[in-house]
Amino acid sequence: MRELRSDALVVFGVTGDLAHKQIFPALFEMEKRGVLKTPVIGVAFPNWSLDRLKRRVADSIRHAMGGQMSRSDQRTLDALLARIKYVSGDYTDPATFVAIKQALHGARRPAHYLAIPPALFQTVIRGLGAAGLAKDARVIVEKPFGRDLASARELNRVAHAAFAEDSIFRIDHFLGKEAIMNILYYRFANSFLEPIWNRNYVSSVQITMAENFGIKKRGAFYETAGCLRDVIENHLFQIIALLAMEAPSTRDYGAVQAEKAKVFEAMRPLRPADLVRGQYAGYRKEPDVARDSDVETFCALRLYIDSWRWDGVPWYLRSGKCMATTATEILVELKAPPQRLFADSQPKHGRENYLRFRLSPDAAIALATRVKTPGEEFVGQQQELFLCEALAGQEMPYERLLGDAMRGNGALFTRQDAVEAAWAVVDPVLKKHDPVHVYKRGSWGPKAADALLGPGGSWHNPGADVENGC
């Protein structure tokens, strides 16, 4: 079934924010490129007319384009709207799934996209199975894939009762970004990197994903998730997998997924001492947030991968809201030369040579190296060899991921064993941890996070402590 393209797309939660902000614009771009060749059946509880849904789709596209649409864009929008059907119904009512089957009008290989709250995943999957809508079909599940190891296993059990593993596509839009995909390419397309990409030459790896805004009226959601579940366990763990994995035998998605899963399985389970949680000042005054909330809006941790390549190398992860800037960067710091031949070889910022990946807001790769300054003395300075990537024309993450799922290409999705192995790493600290540290808005988080790096260690603050760059 893998090589067969889905012949219909069913979008559960079609009236929600995710569909309006991400899915409709992605479908529009797919229509523009001529790769959307199937009907799109929207499903949701509100008793809307088809015309009302189409108006919402059109509003989404116009908003995504800043209100500027050419005649060609309008033709594309008209073509997309002609594909759309709507089924209104309760997900717990078998009649809803009967109506979906009728709307599919004989399609045999539909892709069911669950753009709905996680609490409804199991309900819809069971409904699809009971109605015979899972046979030869695919299901696309939005993160989070459970709240802990036990719930992830239960979700996988329910999903496998209706769908084969290679028909389950666990979608994380982060993996569809061009800069994320470039990590895999850069690692295995360049021969100079492999000899130093190990415990013998790498002293530490830092990953920071900072956002300068708060929870944006998502208090109810954040109270059930927190930064560790929402960002660290999925987004940042996926970056680690790409950085730490061994070379797959082929580019086939099965080989890539197998190597990524091995990274998660080799991660040492976290202890409370490996974790610092923070909460920005004023979070408890946000709508739908408990006045005594201990939910973290910032999380920093120290992680080890017990493998031959990475034994003893600390991985430092940090993410938070209301921080000094919005950026995501990776800093791979290399060990010092074995002999200090030159007295000035200590870098200005206290770092040795490093490789820096900037993933957002722009994409860049930089290598920090020491260069001799002109003159008779052996005096130098650390400079970055800097490549800023132009990503104009790149596919939107949801456009790429939806297209891949409908083609049956699972390379950018997450496999069951990887999901469960990742939860096993964080499970010990989901409930057993220290209280949150309150931190100032616009800062780099609580000072307590500095202790994770040990004496003399310091966090790399994206855009704040490099000598050259964008």
216-225, 236-245, 446-455: segment of lowest average pLDDT: 216-225
Q: Average pLDDT in the 7-19 region?
A: 96
Containing H/E element for 327? strand 327-334
pLDDT higher than 70, residue 424: yes
Same domain, yes or no: 122 and 189: no
Same domain, yes or no: 447 and 300: yes
Gap between the Cα atoms of 21 and 188, Å rounded: 34
pLDDT higher than 80, residue 300: yes
Q: What integer pLDDT is reported at residue 347 of this predicted model?
A: 56
- What totals of helices (H) and strands (E) does the chain contain, helices first? 14, 15
Same domain, yes or no: 67 and 215: no
Gap between the Cα atoms of 295 and 438, Å rounded: 11
**Structure tokens given for 31:** 């229509």
73-82, 241-250, 252-261, 401-410: segment of lowest average pLDDT: 252-261
Residue 468 lies in a domain: no
Could you give the C-alpha distances from 306 to 237, 330, 425, in angstroms and in order?
A: 15, 20, 12
Q: Average pLDDT in the 411-428 region?
A: 93
Gap between the Cα atoms of 439 and 278, Å rounded: 7
Same domain, yes or no: 249 and 371: yes
Residue 354 lies in a domain: yes
Containing H/E element for 168? strand 168-171
Same domain, yes or no: 181 and 112: no
Q: Average pLDDT in the 344-363 region?
A: 77
Residue 165 lies in a domain: no
Q: What is the mean pLDDT of the chain?
A: 91
Q: What integer pLDDT is reported at residue 53 of this predicted model?
A: 97
Could you give the C-alpha distances from 42 to 10, 166, 176, 254, 450, in angstroms and in order?
A: 6, 24, 23, 31, 48
The catalytically annotated residue of 20, 112, 235, 460 is: 235
- Structural domain containing residue 410: 175-453
111-120, 191-200, 408-417: segment of lowest average pLDDT: 408-417
pLDDT higher than 60, residue 185: yes
How far the first Cα of the chain sits from its last, in Å, is 45
98-112, 126-140, 178-192: segment of lowest average pLDDT: 178-192
Q: In what order do the strands lie in the sheet with 168-171?
A: 84-88, 40-44, 8-12, 110-114, 138-142, 168-171
**Structure tokens given for 243:** 């950085």
Number of domains the chain is built from: 2
- In degrees rounded to 5, what are phi and psi of residue 372? -70, 135
pLDDT higher than 50, residue 190: yes
Residues 414 and 172: beta-carbon distance below 8 Å: yes
Residue 317 lies in a domain: yes
pLDDT in tens, 243-290: 999 999 887 777 888 999 999 999 999 999 999 999 999 999 999 999
Residues 61 and 81: beta-carbon distance below 8 Å: no
Burial 18-41 (b: 16+ CB within 10 A, else e): bbbebbbbbbbbbbbeeebebbbb
DSSP state of 303: E
Q: Average pLDDT in the 76-99 region?
A: 97
Q: Average pLDDT in the 388-411 region?
A: 79
Which CATH number covers residue 290? 3.30.360.10
Question: Is position 433 annotated as part of the catalytic site?
Answer: no
Same domain, yes or no: 106 and 238: no
Gap between the Cα atoms of 190 and 194, Å rounded: 8
Contacts of 286 (CB under 8 A, 6+ apart): 214, 215, 217, 219
Same domain, yes or no: 102 and 185: no
Same domain, yes or no: 239 and 379: yes
CB neighbours (10 Å) of residue 374? 6
pLDDT higher than 80, residue 463: no
Same domain, yes or no: 418 and 295: yes
- Structure confidence at residue 341 as a pLDDT band (50, 70, 90): confident
Gap between the Cα atoms of 58 and 81, Å rounded: 8
Global pTM reads 0.89
Q: What integer pLDDT is reported at residue 389 of this predicted model?
A: 67
Same domain, yes or no: 116 and 243: no
